[in-house]
Amino acid sequence: MLLSYDWLKDYLDINLSPEDLGEKIERTSVEVDSVSKRSDGLKKIVVGKIISFEKHPDAGHLNICQIDVGEDEPLQIVCGAPNVEVGKKVIVALSGARVGGNIKIKKAKMRGVQSNGMLCGLDEIGFSKDVVPDEWKDGIYFLPDDAKLGNSVFDYLGMNDPLIDLDVTPNRGDMLSLRGAVYDLAAVFDQKVNFDEKAGKELGQTESKTDIKAHADEDLAPIYKLKVVKDVEVKPSPLWLQIKLWNLGIKPINNVVDITNLVMMKLGQPLHAYDLSKIADGDLRVRRAKPGEKITTLDEEERELSALDVVIADSEKPVGLAGLMGGNDAKVTKDTTDIVIEAGVFAPVATRKMAQKELLHTDASQRFERGIDKGNVENALNYAAGLIQDLANGRASQGVVIGSDEVVKPVTISISAERINHVLGTSLSEKEITDIFHRLGFTVENKDHEMLVTVPTRCWDIKIDADLIEEVARIYGYDNIPVTLPVTVTTEGSFTPKQQLIKNSRKILLGEGLTHAISYSLTTEAKAKMFLLNDSNETNLQWPMTNDHAVLRMNLLSGLLDDIAYNQARGVEDVPFFEQGRVFFREADQVRPTEVEHIAGAISGSLAQSTWNQKATPMDFFGMKGIVTKYLETLSLADEISYEATDSISEMHPGQTALIKLGDEVIGFVGQVHPSTAKAFKIKPTFVFELDLDKLVTAKKSEQQYQQVSPFPKISRDMAMLVNDDITNAQVYAIIKRRGGAFLKKVTLFDVYDGEHVPAGKKSLAYSLTFENPKETLKDEVVNKAVAKITKHLQDELDVEIR
Amino acid sequence: MSLKEDLETIKQNGLKEIDASTDVKSLNEIRVQLLGKKGPITQALRGISKLPVEERPVVGSFANIIRDELATAITTKQTELENAKLNAKLAEEKLDVTLPGNQVALGHPHVIQQIIDEIEDIFIGMGYQVLNGPEVEEDHYNFEMMNLPKDHPARDMQDTFYITKEILMRTHTSPMQARSLEKHDFSKGPLKMISPGVVFRRDTDDPTHSHQFHQVEGIMIDKHITMADLKGTLETMTHKLFGDKFKVRLRPSYFPFTEPSVEADITCMNCGGKGCDVCKGSGWIEVLGAGMVHPNVLKMAGVDPKEYGGFAFGVGPDRFAMLKYGVNDIRDFYLDDLRFLSQFD
Ligand SMILES: [Zn+2]
């Protein structure tokens, strides 16, 4: 919403520069997007007069014009506009001028003829096509005949008026008019204003009701009033009116339409004028559209309506979309003589829905959605009729015709100084507060420290005491509110065990060399379903923006693989990532998915790059398993972690993937991404893990107790054995652990070999066993006995050959 | 020659030999030769019986002194030789210490997570709880309980990803206001919580918009919490996050769930408040929305707005990170480009 600085100054004493005024508005009312003038960035554009012109000898569409710009000699300018006319005052961009689009004008030859400038249309000096009147759409613009030759054109076209662009929040619909802004600034500057624009006397003899009837359902239009003006002379508006409108971003159409728009911008009441002769049976009503009904609106769009739409209709057909835009059939044209002006209040929700459905957000709909001053409807209607009498020679009929007329009263809210200070932390006196309310134009009745504040209808969004507190805060000034810290009972802030575990998990993985990635939770259907340990239904968005972000992820890995692909495509080969976040599982009968915290890692390439003394080791299965194992060790899980080969995850390498189990429960997996999957993602060999973090959070933890370091020497024994290829380390390890006796403290696999000297179908495993007795010196016989027992069981159960 | 003179000669010759030795091995040979059972001192002492009885102890102790002197000389020489050998070895071991050290793999924390961690620590320090709410929310909590009934125009401000008519991707972490208000037992003290997390808007991704970003919502409710307290709390957070010289100012704004609502600006970090392109010349940068919790929000959650009240605020860690590090494109936070992420430690 654009606010004209010059227009404001008609009502207020403003001692601030436009920029400072913008700043003031931003600090007290609504955000200001910009403060600018239409002339910003333009220069050397002056008034000239066409003395003569002749056709260009080599280009029929060009004219060679002689232009008087108040200098001794006329300027020769070649112009392609179709409407050059001797005697007209025109916009001349001199050589060295800067025009719209930051274009610089230079002397030049045009098809061999010298041209010392440019004659301009409005669009060429920066006017948006949306505001250039249709009559000036093609060709150059004619300035008023009294424009002084050689003067800058800016003042003649209102281009030096500073325009303040407001970003009006939904609660400040009152700021969508000059009237609202003036009252608001009057409160800020503590000035008295009177903005009651009264209409002149109706000149017509007939009554409005003889020519028009009105009906409106109060739910659709709580207020709906019409007034007839006859014998209007429809023509372009005077320049001052056109300037006001185009400066506010509205295209001048004709005097009648322009007046309705002017009144909307000035008083905040959207109006519409119909050609009375086009209204069948002189009957206008606000009603729901009939399904299938059609209307062509002023923008020449044909729209098919549904029963949710609200229209203004005559006895035959819709003539307007209520609160949005009039229909093309009943619009005011140059042939119109009698008009009916409509002023109403349309229901905000219906207007908003219709505007959304029709993608038709108009100045009117913007206002009806936020609400308008219901106490000023008839005044605005009469004021517009008066202006039409003045500017279009019309004769307003007597009275208005009422379709609906909700009784509107000012709201009275009870509040106290104590309450206001309690909320703001201020210590304002009742007098200071009363003063602020008076500045806002509210009346205050004091009753034993209660203040009964009556709010005029022009501030329709103020309904409860909190709203009044806001008014006090912004007029008193947010800068003047003290700065304190809350005084309350002391509370202890701490992370929950779950939050702590998640924070620690991130820390450990960072320490292990993985970088924290955050990828998108919304992904494609295919990626959402990858890397699943259990079946789950996917959760789809109803209206995704793109297929790339349409389904909630059920794994973190697919996002990490995308990240790896992104990096490797850009020449970053070694990519170690982890991510921690939610995945979303859903049973068939579940509407809302279950959110599960996961943590996942993916490494492609090496953790550390090759250097002068170290060769990079590419990540492999055991590297990744080591990372997961170390991470899990830091969690002090009470139950044992084990790894079990799996070929059930189709995106994973069938021979290099392990389920990770905590006790008997599967909590995730680790392994190599299936080469086909890696190929599909366009990534190099990649090793990954994904864990259910929630299961780790709830898992039983071991009490981390201090164990005394044994003062007695430990005894180590190495056991090497030949086993069949299909025997796993886990099987051997389990037997050693189970049969090793009370003093077996540690079992470490230190060699796996299946090369030379090992028979086919066999492999050699070597373990180091450490025995320790914290109570006394361990005897060799005890250890020998334990090793013998282990050996026997290994031989019996796994058929190993001890070497 | 007297025995004493013999001994003196032995000593002088011995010392010469010791001094002349060039390695530990020959020194050891000298030690055995001089001080051993077959050595000259022992030999010489054999003549002691020929001396008068009263001279014997004198010569004996003289012999011992010479033995000790020679032994000390050998030890000293040995140390000398060993040191020389060690020094020679050390000289050989000399390295170019300017060669790079070994690589230690260390990951980089995500810059958004860092900002969230900092904010969490600040508020934990002020006695707040951290609550993590669901990312898939009910319309009821995301909108209705936040004073955004169906058809409220402000719903347009937050374009929403719906899953069903009633289930959606949360558009803010504000629903945790309502959820925590419903649960909180005010007899146990004030409600002080922040809720960090990822949120979603139905936006097309571009440099300033992302369909996924982060938010930290905060709320403090008690019997007497003021807008002045909000100013103080936001100022504390700003000082801890950005530094003491950053100022905070409030401006009127609108959120359906607060009244009064304010926008908080902080001193522009690019120009320090002098005015520049980043702050459009104002010296201030908009960083967060806040306000006093709307009575309707309290009422709907079963809290009496006449008795209790307080403030709420919503911080955008993405925006903070962009401002703090001069990042121009919000999408950089979600592309996980290592060349970007590894700039933050
Ligand atoms: Zn700046």
Banded model confidence at residue B344, pLDDT cuts 50, 70, 90: confident
- Chain B contact set for A487 (CB, 8 A): 224
Taking the CA of residue A155 and the nearest CA in chain B, the distance in Å comes to 27
Contact B136 A539 (CB under 8 A): yes
Interface subset of A 69-88, CB within 8 angstroms of B? none
- d(Cα A262, Cα A268) in Å, to the nearest integer? 9
Q: How far is the CA of B248 from the centre of ligand 1 (A)?
A: 14
Quick: pLDDT tens for A623-665: 999 999 999 999 999 999 999 999 999 999 999 999 999 999 9
Quick: pLDDT tens for B4-32: 788 888 888 888 988 888 888 888 888 88
Taking the CA of residue B339 and the nearest CA in chain A, the distance in Å comes to 8
Q: Closest by alpha carbon to B295, among B147, B157, B159?
A: B147
Banded model confidence at residue B1, pLDDT cuts 50, 70, 90: low
| Closest in A474, A503, A614 to B102, CB measured | A614
Query: Other CB atoms closer than 10 Å to residue B226's CB: what's the count?
Result: 23
Quick: pLDDT tens for A275-301: 999 999 999 999 999 999 999 999 999
B128 close to A (CB below 8 A): yes
- Chain A contact set for B231 (CB, 8 A): 481-484
Judge whether residue A8 has pLDDT over 90.
Answer: yes
Give the contacts of A294 (CB within 8 A, at least 6 positions apart).
Answer: A302, A303, A304, A305, A318
According to DSSP, residue A713 is labeled P
Contact A493 B127 (CB under 8 A): yes
Q: CA end-to-end span of chain A, whole Å? A: 90
The yes/no answer on whether domain A43-157 falls in CATH 1.10.1750.10 is no
Quick: pLDDT tens for A331-346: 999 999 999 999 999 9
ipTM over 0.95: no
B49 close to A (CB below 8 A): no
Q: What is the pLDDT of residue B304?
A: 96
A770's enclosing H/E stretch is strand A762-771
B253 close to A (CB below 8 A): yes
Mutate to test the interface with B, among A370, A470, A537 (most CBs of B within 10 A): A470
Q: What is the pLDDT of residue B323?
A: 86
Q: What is the pLDDT of residue B125?
A: 94
- Chain A contact set for B125 (CB, 8 A): 493
Under a CB-based contact definition with an 8 Å cutoff, are residues A151 and A46 in contact?
yes
Q: Closest by alpha carbon to A516, among B345, B148, B237?
A: B345
Q: What is the pLDDT of residue B278?
A: 82
- The least confident of A381-385, A391-395, B46-50 is B46-50
Taking the CA of residue A30 and the nearest CA in chain B, the distance in Å comes to 7
Banded model confidence at residue B156, pLDDT cuts 50, 70, 90: low
Under a CB-based contact definition with an 8 Å cutoff, are residues A562 and A602 in contact?
no
Cα-flanking dihedrals φ and ψ of residue B301, to 5°? -90, 5
Banded model confidence at residue A758, pLDDT cuts 50, 70, 90: confident
| Closest in B103, B107, B309 to A514, CB measured | B107
Please state which CATH number belongs to domain A2-37+162-189.
3.30.56.10
Alpha-carbon separation of residue A46 from A43, A50, A85, A88, A137 (angstroms): 9, 13, 18, 14, 20
Banded model confidence at residue A234, pLDDT cuts 50, 70, 90: very high
Residues of chain A with CATH 3.50.40.10: 208-405
- Chain A contact set for B113 (CB, 8 A): 506, 516, 518
Q: What is the pLDDT of residue B270?
A: 83
Which chain A residue shows the shortest CA-CA distance from B227? A424
Query: Average pLDDT in the B329-338 region?
Result: 94
Alpha helices in A480-620 (DSSP H): 497-511, 525-528, 557-569
Q: What is the pLDDT of residue B335?
A: 94
Q: Which CATH superfamily is domain A208-405 in?
A: Phenylalanyl-trna Synthetase, Chain B, domain 3 (3.50.40.10)
Q: Closest by alpha carbon to A354, among A299, A417, A393, A303?
A: A303
B309 close to A (CB below 8 A): yes
- d(Cα B160, Cα A544) in Å, to the nearest integer? 10
Which one has a higher pLDDT value, B158 or A266?
A266
B257's enclosing H/E stretch is none
| Edge-to-edge order in the sheet of strand A801-802 | A744-753, A762-771, A715-724, A801-802
Give the contacts of A161 (CB within 8 A, at least 6 positions apart).
Answer: A4, A5, A6, A7, A37, A38, A243, A247
Q: What is the pLDDT of residue A397?
A: 96
Structure tokens at A334: 């140059």
Cα-flanking dihedrals φ and ψ of residue A356, to 5°? -70, -45
Contact A470 B260 (CB under 8 A): yes
Which chain B residue shows the shortest CA-CA distance from A592? B167
Judge whether residue B2 has pLDDT over 80.
Answer: no
Judge whether residue B131 has pLDDT over 90.
Answer: yes
Contact A486 B124 (CB under 8 A): no
- Chain A contact set for B220 (CB, 8 A): 486
Q: Where are the domains of chain B?
A: 3-92, 111-341
Q: What is the pLDDT of residue B157?
A: 59
Mutate to test the interface with A, among B138, B156, B163, B193 (most CBs of A within 10 A): B163
- d(Cα A186, Cα B238) in Å, to the nearest integer? 34
Interface subset of A 455-474, CB within 8 angstroms of B? 464, 466-467, 469-470, 473-474
The yes/no answer on whether domain B111-341 falls in CATH 3.90.1150.10 is no
Q: How far is the CA of B282 from the centre of ligand 1 (A)?
A: 7
Banded model confidence at residue B158, pLDDT cuts 50, 70, 90: low
Query: What is the percent of chain A where pLDDT is above 70?
Result: 100
A427 close to B (CB below 8 A): no
Structure tokens at B288: 């967060």
Judge whether residue B45 has pLDDT over 80.
Answer: no
- Preceding peptide of B260 cis, ω within 30°: yes
Please state which CATH number belongs to domain A497-698.
3.30.930.10
Residues of chain A with CATH 3.30.70.380: 715-802
Taking the CA of residue B342 and the nearest CA in chain A, the distance in Å comes to 8
Query: What is the percent of chain B where pLDDT is above 90?
Result: 60
Q: How far is the CA of B274 from the centre of ligand 1 (A)?
A: 6
Query: Average pLDDT in the A594-615 region?
Result: 92
Mutate to test the interface with B, among A423, A502, A568 (most CBs of B within 10 A): A423
Taking the CA of residue B124 and the nearest CA in chain A, the distance in Å comes to 4
A539 close to B (CB below 8 A): yes
- d(Cα B221, Cα B188) in Å, to the nearest integer? 12
- Protein fold of A411-480: Phenylalanyl-tRNA Synthetase; Chain B, domain 1 (3.30.56)
Judge whether residue B155 has pLDDT over 90.
Answer: no
B204 close to A (CB below 8 A): yes
Banded model confidence at residue B330, pLDDT cuts 50, 70, 90: very high
- d(Cα A761, Cα A724) in Å, to the nearest integer? 6
Q: How far is the CA of B266 from the centre of ligand 1 (A)?
A: 10
Query: Average pLDDT in the A751-766 region?
Result: 89
Q: What is the pLDDT of residue A274?
A: 97
A802 close to B (CB below 8 A): no
Contact A572 B339 (CB under 8 A): yes
Judge whether residue A247 has pLDDT over 80.
Answer: yes
| Closest in A169, A483, A563 to B336, CB measured | A563
Contact A608 B123 (CB under 8 A): no
Contact A543 B202 (CB under 8 A): yes
- E-strand ranges in chain B read 129-130, 136-138, 167-169, 191-200, 212-222, 248-255, 258-267, 284-293, 309-315
Residue A131 three-state SS: coil
- d(Cα A208, Cα B182) in Å, to the nearest integer? 57
| Closest in A170, A473, A541 to B227, CB measured | A473
| Closest in A464, A485, A578 to B229, CB measured | A485
Taking the CA of residue A722 and the nearest CA in chain B, the distance in Å comes to 37
For all residues of chain A together, what is the average pLDDT?
A: 94
Taking the model in full, what pTM does it have? 0.87
Q: How far is the CA of B219 from the centre of ligand 1 (A)?
A: 30
Taking the CA of residue B240 and the nearest CA in chain A, the distance in Å comes to 15
Taking the CA of residue A28 and the nearest CA in chain B, the distance in Å comes to 6
A545 close to B (CB below 8 A): yes
Q: Which CATH superfamily is domain A715-802 in?
A: Ferrodoxin-fold anticodon-binding domain (3.30.70.380)
- d(Cα A707, Cα A700) in Å, to the nearest integer? 20
- d(Cα B16, Cα A800) in Å, to the nearest integer? 70
Q: How far is the CA of B267 from the centre of ligand 1 (A)?
A: 8
Which one has a higher pLDDT value, B158 or B152?
B152
Cα-flanking dihedrals φ and ψ of residue B298, to 5°? -65, -50
Taking the CA of residue B141 and the nearest CA in chain A, the distance in Å comes to 14
A182 close to B (CB below 8 A): no
| Closest in A170, A517, A608 to B103, CB measured | A608
Residues of chain A with CATH 2.40.50.140: 43-157
